[in-house]
Amino acid sequence: MTRRARIPNLGGARAVVLHREHAAVEVLIRQLGAIGLEVEQAWPDLPATAAGANFLFFDVDHGFDEQFPWKAGEAPMPLVALIGSEAPGRIEWALSLQADAQIVKPVGNAGVYSALLIARRAFDERRRLGEEIASLRRRIGERQTVVRAVVALSGAGIGEEQAYAQLRALAMSWQVSLEDAARRIVELKTTEASDERPRLA
């Protein structure tokens, strides 16, 4: 049985609407207020207070890269694209920002609540996947360090299995993880190799 995801309580959340004064914005702000969000509208500059917002709605039709103080795809909150024109270039720009949900203008009486929920879920999932990828990359890097440490310890009659056992014994005696012990060995061997290099007079 699939476990259902819980619907978050949006009451008290903060939203910034980055859009010029327009009837669509008035409708959107009313809808967000009815759902229980505190709303701030701005244009063309994103206010400093936006950093603490829970959601950011932005105008796809007239928006531009310089409005955002972060790199594309690195927004610290869910993004909801407000789309009026379906010009391919504008849609491509919204996609490059990795918008988590969209609302088609003119904004009606429906769709705002679902856009908030979808944006929140997509943002959380993207962040989770990003953290998982970063963790996997760290683990791959740590494995490479373990291999380098084993290679550094092996030689002169000591095979790889014995070198690995020696690395494990060092980790236990130092009371650190295998990866931390490997890092120490690699750093030590690198320092020794550097000291043994002939120096120019």
- According to the model, what pLDDT value does residue 145 have? 87
**In the chain, % of residues over pLDDT 90:** 50
pTM of the full predicted structure? 0.72
What lies within 8 Å, CB to CB, of 115 at 6+ separation is: 80, 101, 102, 103
- Domain spans of the chain? 14-127, 134-196
Mean pLDDT of 179-199: 76
- According to the model, what pLDDT value does residue 106 have? 86
Q: Does residue 120 carry a pLDDT above 90? A: yes
Q: Tokens at residue 80, please? A: 């909801």
- Lowest-pLDDT range of 9-23, 31-45, 51-65, 144-158: 144-158
Q: Does residue 121 carry a pLDDT above 90? A: yes
Mean pLDDT of 124-144: 88
| Domain 14-127: homologous superfamily in CATH | Response regulator (3.40.50.2300)
Mean pLDDT of 62-85: 93
- According to the model, what pLDDT value does residue 9 have? 76
C-alpha pair distances (Å), 141 with each of 32, 95, 132, 155, 163: 45, 31, 14, 23, 19
Backbone Cα Rg of the chain: 26
Task: Answer whether 43's CB lies under 8 Å from 65's CB.
Answer: no
C-alpha pair distances (Å), 82 with each of 10, 112, 159, 170: 20, 11, 63, 58
Mean pLDDT of 26-51: 93
Q: Tokens at residue 71, please? A: 């790199």
C-alpha pair distances (Å), 132 with each of 125, 126, 136, 139, 155: 10, 10, 6, 11, 36
Task: Summarize pLDDT for 15-29 with one digit per residue, the tens.
Answer: 999 999 988 889 999
User: Tell me, which fold does domain 134-196 have in CATH?
Assistant: Arc Repressor Mutant, subunit A (1.10.10)
In angstroms, how far is the first alpha carbon of the chain from the final one?
A: 74
| Residue 201 binned pLDDT confidence (cut-offs 50, 70, 90) | very low
Mean pLDDT score of the chain:
87
> What is the distance between the alpha carbons of residues 146 and 121, in angstroms, rounded to a whole number?
37
| Residue 53 binned pLDDT confidence (cut-offs 50, 70, 90) | very high
- According to the model, what pLDDT value does residue 63 have? 94
Mean pLDDT of 133-151: 87
User: Are both 14-127 and 134-196 of the same fold?
Assistant: no
Q: Which carries the bigger pLDDT value, residue 67 or residue 159?
A: 67
